Amino acid sequence: MPNPTAAMLVIGDEILSGRTRDSNMHHLAKRLTDHGIRLMEARVVADDHAAIVDAVNTLRARHDHLFTSGGIGPTHDDITADAIAAAFGVAITHRADAMALLQAHYDRAGQPFNDARQRMARIPDGAVLIDNPISTAPGFSLGNVHVMAGVPSIFEAMLAGLIPTLTGGAPLLSQSLRVNRGEGEIAADFGALAADFPDLSMGSYPFNVNGAHGTNLVIRGTDPARIDAAMTRLAALFG
Amino acid sequence: MPNPTAAMLVIGDEILSGRTRDSNMHHLAKRLTDHGIRLMEARVVADDHAAIVDAVNTLRARHDHLFTSGGIGPTHDDITADAIAAAFGVAITHRADAMALLQAHYDRAGQPFNDARQRMARIPDGAVLIDNPISTAPGFSLGNVHVMAGVPSIFEAMLAGLIPTLTGGAPLLSQSLRVNRGEGEIAADFGALAADFPDLSMGSYPFNVNGAHGTNLVIRGTDPARIDAAMTRLAALFG
């Protein structure tokens, strides 16, 4: 059976103006290659509705997967979710589960969950959310199109959760624990725990929101009982 | 008069496999912005004849200029020159002036000017050579398509010679303000400001560097007075 094929679409004026150097394409290329998926082509387009719709529809028809980065934040130039909905001809609404995730996130941070932040819960109908262990606002997969953030640390964390779901094997589950300590502080114990559960994948994602900094610890695997066992140990260490 | 537009085509399996991280797109983006040419889109394709021909013909029709990097070396996978010739429907031959340049170069180096090296003198009919001050093997311009090497130092040297020969537009200017607030906090006011200045492009870019968290707000345009006016409003809002 031939390897699945993929394309990437990088979305953002800041890449084309030279303000920002994209790193997500290179990261994706390495991860896909490791995973046996062939990245066949990549494109960069501006924050332009018609350009995004056109590229999405061309690339999703040509390949098994299309990965996008950029344009899913809270500001006026974040138009990716609407363009994806338009490309598929589906509606887009503030989705309840995404709203709940974000409401809880901003409640914890003691910040208002205002209209701009609520924009990040707008998800095209039929999509599956992609976990964002760093800043909560989710990505999503709609059909074979995987929509992720442009900020490299968030893109990489989203992709780390997404990639194992693309094998076609047993579904990969995850649970996470938010810890108010830096990565350097928890690394030894977390590493030892990971060594005790070689069948699970454990990742740590530092965050820093308005001065509150810490680490989200994520455990991924296919056996819910094993994940529960590891989470019990994790909570005893850092809970 | 509107600014000229451009596209870039990066050619090479090594970019798509993740072995090499492209830097030419970012370099070109900065140089074009300085020169008043708008980079509207970019693509990366594999060392695949049909993929190159297809991308070249799409992009050269859409924009004032198309810049390519990669695939003009001496090995069997360097197929760019042939693909450009095919895209334009012209012949490609070992051209006398390019042969002479390379013959002299290898004579000076005391190295044989063998068949593989002679491949680098194969230039589509009607092209103008682009000087290569580093390793002699020339690039070329055919119509509005500018074909350059993939090695960054050579790409950059070729571009440095080429850019002054291209008609630019008004310089694309930008100013930015660094704000110690999250995007979600400034989105509403920033979006309203952007709506008041439809002739300018405004983008927001969150950062999180060594515990410092905030947003860079960037205003781009060609009229310095309009950018100043918008920056004054921006400073009043968030300064």
| Token reading at B28 | 């070109």
Query: Using CB atoms, which residue from B29, B182, B206 is nearest to A18?
Result: B29
Is the CB of residue B50 less than 8 Å from the CB of residue A28? no
Q: Looking at residue A205, what is its pLDDT?
A: 66
Distance between A115 CA and the closest CA of chain B, angstroms: 8
ipTM over 0.90: yes
Domains of chain B (ranges; CATH) run: 5-165 (3.40.980.10), 173-238 (3.30.70.1980)
> pLDDT by residue (tens digit) across B93-141?
999 999 999 999 999 989 889 888 899 999 999 999 999 999 899 999 9
Do B203 and A22 lie within an 8 Å CB cutoff?
A: no
Which chain A residues touch B202 with a CB distance below 8 Å? 76-77
Contacts of the segment B119-122: beta carbons below 8 A, 24+ positions apart: B119/B74, B119/B78, B120/B72, B120/B73, B120/B74, B121/B94, B121/B95, B122/B81, B122/B82, B122/B92, B122/B93, B122/B94, B122/B95, B122/B98
Is the CB of residue A155 less than 8 Å from the CB of residue A69? yes
| Burial class, A162, CB count within 10 angstroms (exposed 0-12 / middle 13-18 / buried 19+) | buried
Which chain A residues touch B209 with a CB distance below 8 Å? none
Smallest CA-to-CA distance from B230 within B35, B239, A77, A48 is with B239
> pLDDT by residue (tens digit) across A12-30?
999 999 999 999 999 999 8
Cα Rg of chain B, angstroms:
22
Q: Say how many C-beta atoms besides its own lie within 10 A of residue B195's C-beta.
A: 10
> pLDDT by residue (tens digit) across B59-101?
999 999 999 999 998 887 789 999 999 999 999 999 999 999 9
Angle between helices A183-196 and A224-238 (to 10 degrees): 140
Please check whether residue A20 touches B, CB under 8 A: yes
Q: Looking at residue A187, what is its pLDDT?
A: 78
Please check whether residue A105 touches B, CB under 8 A: no
Please check whether residue B60 touches A, CB under 8 A: no
